[in-house]
Amino acid sequence: MENEPRFLRPNVIIEPLVDRFYVSLNTLAPVQASMNLAYLQVPMLEAYLQAPKVHINSSRDPEMRGGFFVNIDEERSGEVRDLLASIKRDRGAMLRFAEAVSDAEEMVRQQATGFDLTPLYPKLPADLSGLVEVAYDTNNQAQLRYLEPVVYSSELYDEDRQSVQLSIETGIERPFIMSTPRLPGPDVLDLHLPFRHPGLEELFGARLAPTTLGRLRDALELDDEQSAFLAGLLCDAPDLAPSRHVDDGARIRYFGHASLVMQTPEAAVVTDPWVSADSTAAGRYTYRDLPDHIDLVLLTHGHQDHVVPETLMQLRGRVGTVVVPRSSRGNLSDPSLALYLTRLGLPVVEVDDYAQVDFPGGSVIATPFLGEHADLDIRAKSTYCVRLGGRTVFVGADSSGIDPALYRNIRAHVGPIDVAFLGMECAGAPLTWVYQALLTRPMTKKMSDSRTMSGSNAEQAGAIVTELGADEAYVYAMGEEDWLVGHVMATSYNEDSFQLKQVAEFMNWCADNGVKADHLYGQHEIRW
């Protein structure tokens, strides 16, 4: 049986982990990962061990959804204790580095007073030696710049942290990814492999092309028990939707949240891919609906609901290029998406504003992205204008219309926009929800709450559409599809939610101004 042709079941999922926490940009990029490990994950595990019942009850309280509580049953607290001990034992370099970052940032604040910075270098903590530069901006404010490619080559980037869990999609919401580590269990296949491991590409290539259990056993370096589990993840025939390709014209399919699949007979372009694996569910597109080859994947920014590693890793081998915005190179809050995704084994190209990337029969122009990042100096964010099938589509993600003149400038450069996709999650989480561990100076709750990760409200969305000259507008990226976002965004809406009221107001504005519009949910198709 090991040599019979086999395919991967359509409802297999993968969770990529670092030290058993679900991976994200800020938990893999070594500078930011060190800070999150030291100032978020380790204290959270310690707090759980002091009061497991508090964490468990809080995790399951709808009012506390998205809080930093470990949702692991108390009878498994010994495993959590072992995990914490292994982190403290094996990640000492990362923990020391995080402490050194905090010390160095404070030293620079106190001692970089506008004069020559050379005397500060000998005072830097030894753990930062050769990994940072101290520099002033033109306002005479000093800051540390982290030499990120160098840090990736140091002991701080350790592939021994990495593993993956394979399982079958159950349709039951998974624990919140930012707080609950994934422990081993009888329902998951635990593989201690680096994310770039070629065996993972072989595995997910079996959605399209046959492989054998024997070949996968060798490619993934499995023992007998693991091989037996993997056999249950395979099936006799591929499950692929006949409609996954386009014979003529062009179309856009909405896969949920910020995921758009744009297709012509010549090419396919996907934005912020995040795909459901529940192939038995109605009202959504799943992996079976993806085209066999994807020319470009466009990633708008590094938040965990737009760069989704469990989907991206399953697309290895069928993606030509992943397009990402260029980071600021060394800013603590702005790690490189390109360096991160390369470590996931993906082919990546970085773009600046107004850079153009061509694909068969069309092109993509990267355009500026305002707001949504709590006013932090983050450059790795981009909207995109996609030209295909004779139309131009604006992919706005969570960009905000706080300065409508920007979109007037985009239109002047790109030309009129036919279709605009806009994110209107306009009452987003506060700064500290994602960035707390990176803040080396205390911040008041009032200050953090004033700086949210929010997209456009109704007025701002209307201004964007007006300035772009769009004839059609679609609201997306709202975090409404619970089968995708519950364990990642922890969003909860009801009829009184401010965001939904703003969407309704925008829909009325579109009707009054002759703009075809819709509020997307689940699945939707636009054809021309």
pLDDT in tens, 452-484: 999 999 999 999 999 999 999 999 999 999 899
Mean pLDDT value across residues 323-346? 97
In this structure, the answer to whether residues 289 and 342 fall within a common structural domain is yes
In this structure, the answer to whether residues 404 and 477 fall within a common structural domain is yes
What is the three-class DSSP state of 311?
Answer: helix
pLDDT for the residue 336: 98
pLDDT for the residue 32: 98
In this structure, the answer to whether residues 228 and 174 fall within a common structural domain is yes
In this predicted structure, the answer to whether residue 492 has a pLDDT above a threshold of 90 is no
pLDDT for the residue 466: 98
In this structure, the answer to whether residues 191 and 230 fall within a common structural domain is yes
Q: What is the pTM of this model?
A: 0.97
Q: Check: CB of residue 340 under 8 Å from CB of residue 29.
A: yes
Mean pLDDT value across residues 501-521? 98
Q: To the nearest whole percent, how much of the chain has pLDDT over 70?
A: 100
Mean pLDDT value across residues 308-332? 97
Q: Is the residue at 1 inside a domain?
A: no
pLDDT for the residue 495: 87
pLDDT for the residue 440: 94
In this predicted structure, the answer to whether residue 418 has a pLDDT above a threshold of 90 is yes
Closest CA to 197 of 221, 228, 167: 221
pLDDT for the residue 490: 86
Q: Is the residue at 41 inside a domain?
A: yes
In this structure, the answer to whether residues 435 and 309 fall within a common structural domain is yes
Closest CA to 422 of 353, 517, 296: 517
pLDDT by residue (tens digit) across 242-261?
A: 999 999 999 999 999 999 99
Residue with tokens 């592939």: 159
**C-alpha torsion 431→432→433→437, nearest 10:** 130
Q: If pLDDT is split at 50, 70 and 90, which confidence band does 2 have?
A: confident
Q: Is the residue at 413 inside a domain?
A: yes
In this structure, the answer to whether residues 421 and 488 fall within a common structural domain is yes
In this structure, the answer to whether residues 286 and 320 fall within a common structural domain is yes
Query: Helix H segments across 74-178?
Result: 77-90, 92-111, 148-152
DSSP one-letter code for 173: P
Q: Is the residue at 526 inside a domain?
A: no
Mean pLDDT value across residues 33-37? 98
In this structure, the answer to whether residues 453 and 318 fall within a common structural domain is yes
Q: Is the residue at 2 inside a domain?
A: no
Q: Whole-angstrom Cα distance, residue 227 to residue 229?
A: 5
Distances (CA, A) of 149 to 18, 95, 132, 288: 19, 19, 11, 37
In this structure, the answer to whether residues 271 and 304 fall within a common structural domain is yes
Q: Whole-angstrom Cα distance, residue 37 to residue 44?
A: 10
In this predicted structure, the answer to whether residue 203 has a pLDDT above a threshold of 80 is yes
In this structure, the answer to whether residues 373 and 307 fall within a common structural domain is yes
The count of structural domains within the chain is 3
Residue 506 sits in a domain whose CATH number is: 3.60.15.10
Closest CA to 159 of 203, 194, 112, 109: 194
pLDDT for the residue 491: 87
In this structure, the answer to whether residues 118 and 188 fall within a common structural domain is no
Mean pLDDT of the chain: 96
Q: Is the residue at 525 inside a domain?
A: no
In this predicted structure, the answer to whether residue 402 has a pLDDT above a threshold of 80 is yes
Query: Of 235, 269, 301, which marks where a domain is finished?
Result: 235
Closest CA to 294 of 327, 272, 310, 276: 272
In this structure, the answer to whether residues 181 and 138 fall within a common structural domain is no
pLDDT by residue (tens digit) across 58-73?
A: 998 988 989 999 999 9
In this predicted structure, the answer to whether residue 1 has a pLDDT above a threshold of 80 is no
Query: Of 204, 235, 266, which marks where a domain is finished?
Result: 235
Q: Is the residue at 528 inside a domain?
A: no
Q: Are strands 524-527 and 516-519 parallel, antiparallel or unpaired?
A: unpaired
CA 402 to chain centre: 24
pLDDT for the residue 401: 94
Q: Which domain holds residue 56?
A: 7-91+158-235
pLDDT for the residue 59: 93
Q: Is the residue at 85 inside a domain?
A: yes
